[in-house]
Amino acid sequence: MFFIRNLFHAVFIIFAVSTITFILLYVSSDPVVMLLPPDAPREEVIALRESMGLNDPLVIQYARFLGKLVKGDLGYSFFYKESALKLLVERTPATLELACFGMIFALVIAIPLGILSAVKYRSGFDNLSLGFATIGQAVPIFWLALMLMLIFSVFLGWLPTSGRGNWKNIVLPALSLGAYPMAAIVRLLRANMLTVLRMDYITVARAKGIREFWVVTKHALKNASIPVVTLVGLQFGSMLAGTIVVEMIFGWPGIGRLAIFAIYHRDFPLVQASVIYMATVFIIINLIVDFIYGLLDPRVKVGRMAL
Amino acid sequence: MKTTTKICILTLVACIGLTLFLGKSEAQQKPKDVLFVAQEDDVTTFDPSMSTHVPNVTFYNVIYDCLTIFDNVEFTKLNPALATSWNLINPTTWQFKLRKGVTFHDGEPFNANTVKFNVEWLKTPGKHTVAGNFQTIDHAEVVDDYTINIITKGPDSLLPKRLGAYGAQMTPPEYIKKVGRQTLNSKPIGTGPYIMKEWVKDDHVTLERNEKYWGEKGVFKEVIVKALPDNLTRLNAVLTGEVDLASMMLPDQAAIVGSGNIARIESVLAAAQANYGFSCSKGPLKNKLVRQACNYAVDKDAILKKLWKGYGKVSTGSAITYDFGYDPGLKPYPYDPAKARELIKQAGYKPGEISFDLYANAPGKELTEIVCAYLNDVGINAQPKVLEAATRARWQSDAYLWQGGVLFYPSSTLYDLDGSLWRTHGPKGAGANRWEEMNKPGMPFHDMMEKARYSLNQEERRKIYIEANKIFRDEAPVLFLFQYKILYGVNNRINYRPRPDERMYYNLITFR
């Protein structure tokens, strides 16, 4: 029941998002002027607009768009002359790869750092780790990306500046993308661990003689990680839909870059498809997070069923 | 041992380990016979009739051939390509003799039927994005396998140039009939010096040398063109030697590239200029004296020197230096704020009474702020505004949507005033309604330009253009700025000569 309700919400959100995007796009500009040479004669602009059906009333164009949408047809890119959905699907592996590696990097650094900061509360290590996390959250991605490129590509010559190919290509984009979620996870995990470590059941576990390592990793971490799962889920959604800056800087052939191109050139079908795609990704990730939440904390499931 | 010492030693060991593990740098691993190029965007379609965007056209020039080609040294000189010769057999008929023995990459022969097929396609408006260049064509007649007559609606002395300009690349009719024009978007077949081997969208395109090419074959077996939209990434790729050639370098970056021993900057004056188009049909800019005052008020030399690092030349009028009809004797508007104030007074305005906005795309923001400051200095209340690309493109072809000035970069497509001034400011041009008072029939400027368009007497055309350009300069429907330079980052292992039309012929790039 819970999933059916969420599914209904998801369809409604996608419909609302696509309608708003459609209206905003069509009132804001004209793709024909971006397709033609900058100084193209006005007659040519009119002729091409007519042949593309852009002279039809907005309602008719919208009905046409909806008609195609229900059949799963997200339209045909004006610039690429290909199916918009196909273009998005082609770029999905690149974005998925980047988001996964970015998140793996974030988690590998953030989880030990968050736990150790809480365990060594107010120590030099804790201060250092908090400072590290604050910088990670404060530094803009574009700046970090360019600095990493300058150090590791230009000065040291270890890693390539751009592109997608072998494992070396993913290192700098993943580090840049993972920095912000890493910092956010460190702070949240540390705060939650501090709360949990002071709870009675932890004292009981320690009194029972369980080794401190297991107290922290098995008993405390499980409860402290519930809000972290939500954060990771949301951050991962943002990464899948919003790797734009990293993709632009490192020339990474992903969805964010395609969306920027589409918006910049007023490639209406491609913008629509990108928005619908990104909204869908966010919704699916939220559903998965809800599901995992239920697994980690059975009270959540019970609470929902009681509603 | 202290913790900090331990951390320092560990970091050092990690760095050494990483260096050994990572081995050679990207630049050192580069194969010698492969040319690496970085451009600002990926190709979107390989069909040459579907786009005029520079990142796309780059590929059209090496995958396909035109009937004619502009010279790589004397840029305005027209050379034979797929046509070996051409002549005017009557005022409306151009006859082209075609190159024999040329085949497309798939083996399809090139002949007069190929040209007829392409001409018929190109002249049809509404089907593609290049029809504007071919509107003078009426039809084509095949004389024999290697001779074709192209009949124009009126005399058109520029037709051979049009057939070497954008959109005029010859595509294979049999292939298109077999697989559909749609396929050409991703699987191009041409007669050019390179064959498209692989297209990884938004990442790179690999081109392979056409060993059967009829003309000058490239020294590089393969060309890999990377799409790097960020300016700094392209700069870094040049600095590390990862790419041999990068387009769209910025004037600020020139000194950085030149300071090392890996690469250098090569530049050329563009076949385009930057100027602010005025909406001359409304507001204070309707008054010619106000428009002239704007031109006197701005110190273009100073802007060019400081902002563009001297990469350019102050415009004297609408004609660029390469244009047929360019008058080297014509001087730019001098920087004379006193004269500007005087003209405003003559126009009947008090200081501060004239107000309008100057619009630019994001890269032109700084320039627009400086220009507005100069205008403010003489009592014109001009405010800088930033326009996003699509709105600016829409405004470019419709001046009824705005008032004030917009930063445009009009190009000269045919190295002739007809392809620059009259293409943009003629009655059918994109800028037609920016300056309606002068470009309607009966006005001297209009009639002169129309006469030049249909005249076959080149000397007469040149004289008309010089006079017309003087009228344009005097009427000042634009705030003239400068003909800027195009900058490329070039690795020291290659020779590269940039072209004003931004075309890159990879087959003409050699080792240094």
Give the ipTM.
0.76
The CA-based angle B286-B292-B296, given to 5 degrees, is: 145
- Of B123-132, B295-304, B381-390, least confident by mean pLDDT is B123-132
Residues of A within 8 A of B391 (CB-CB) are: 28-29
Residue A89 has pLDDT above 70, yes or no: yes
Region B22-48 average pLDDT: 82
pLDDT of A275 reads 85
**Rounded Cα distance, A62 and A56, in Å:** 10
- A39 vs B204, B389, B430: nearest CB: B430
pLDDT band at residue B363 under the 50/70/90 scheme? confident
Q: What is the 3-state secondary structure (H, E, C) of B182-236?
A: HHHHCCCCCCCCEEEEEEECCCEEEEEECCCCCCCCCCCCEEEEEECCCHHHHHH
Cβ within 8 Å, pair B233-A41: no
Residue B3 has pLDDT above 60, yes or no: no
Find out whether A240 and A281 touch, Cβ atoms under 8 Å. yes
Number of A–B residue contacts, CB under 8 Å: 172
* A294 inside 8 A of chain B by CB: no
Cβ within 8 Å, pair A44-B132: yes
Average pLDDT across chain B, whole number: 90
- For β-strands B68-70 and B34-39, DSSP reports them as unpaired
Structure token digits, residue A242? 């919003």
Å from B349 to nearest chain A CA?
A: 33
**Rounded Cα distance, A228 and B138, in Å:** 70
pLDDT of A306 reads 41
Task: Find tokens 């930057």 and name the residue.
Answer: B274
**pLDDT tens, residue by residue, B170-189:** 999 999 999 999 899 999 99
Average pLDDT across chain A, whole number: 84
Residue A6 has pLDDT above 80, yes or no: no
Å from B430 to nearest chain A CA?
A: 5
Bridge-partner residues for B79, per DSSP? Answer: B69
Q: Which percentage of chain B shows pLDDT scores above 70?
A: 94
**Rounded Cα distance, B497 and B308, in Å:** 21
Region B247-267 average pLDDT: 91
Å from A42 to nearest chain B CA?
A: 6
pLDDT of B140 reads 96
DSSP string over A29-47: --HHHHHS-TT--HHHHHH
* B200 inside 8 A of chain A by CB: yes
pLDDT band at residue A182 under the 50/70/90 scheme? very high
- Of A219-223, B148-152, B335-339, B347-351, least confident by mean pLDDT is A219-223
pLDDT of B4 reads 45
* A91 inside 8 A of chain B by CB: yes
**pLDDT tens, residue by residue, A47-63:** 777 777 778 888 888 88
* B12 inside 8 A of chain A by CB: no
Bridge-partner residues for B135, per DSSP? Answer: none
Residue A5 has pLDDT above 70, yes or no: yes
CB atoms under 10 Å from CB of B128, counted, come to 21
pLDDT of B344 reads 96
pLDDT band at residue A307 under the 50/70/90 scheme? very low
pLDDT of A29 reads 67
pLDDT of A305 reads 47
Region B405-434 average pLDDT: 83
Bridge-partner residues for B407, per DSSP? Answer: B276
pLDDT band at residue B11 under the 50/70/90 scheme? low
pLDDT band at residue B24 under the 50/70/90 scheme? low
* B228 inside 8 A of chain A by CB: yes
- Of B307-316, B343-352, B440-449, B476-485, least confident by mean pLDDT is B440-449
pLDDT of A220 reads 87
Å from B456 to nearest chain A CA?
A: 23
Residues of B within 8 A of A259 (CB-CB) are: none
Mutate to test the interface with B, among A52, A162, A164, A246 (most CBs of B within 10 A): A162
pLDDT band at residue B13 under the 50/70/90 scheme? low
Mutate to test the interface with A, among B28, B230, B256 (most CBs of A within 10 A): B230
* B48 inside 8 A of chain A by CB: no
Cβ within 8 Å, pair A42-B129: no
Cβ within 8 Å, pair B410-A258: no
- Of A210 and B194, the structure prediction assigns the larger pLDDT to B194
* B331 inside 8 A of chain A by CB: no
Mutate to test the interface with A, among B206, B235, B397 (most CBs of A within 10 A): B397
Mutate to test the interface with A, among B43, B44, B181, B421 (most CBs of A within 10 A): B44
Region A115-127 average pLDDT: 88
**Rounded Cα distance, B172 and B189, in Å:** 7
Residue A302 has pLDDT above 60, yes or no: no
- B394 vs A29, A41, A50: nearest CB: A29
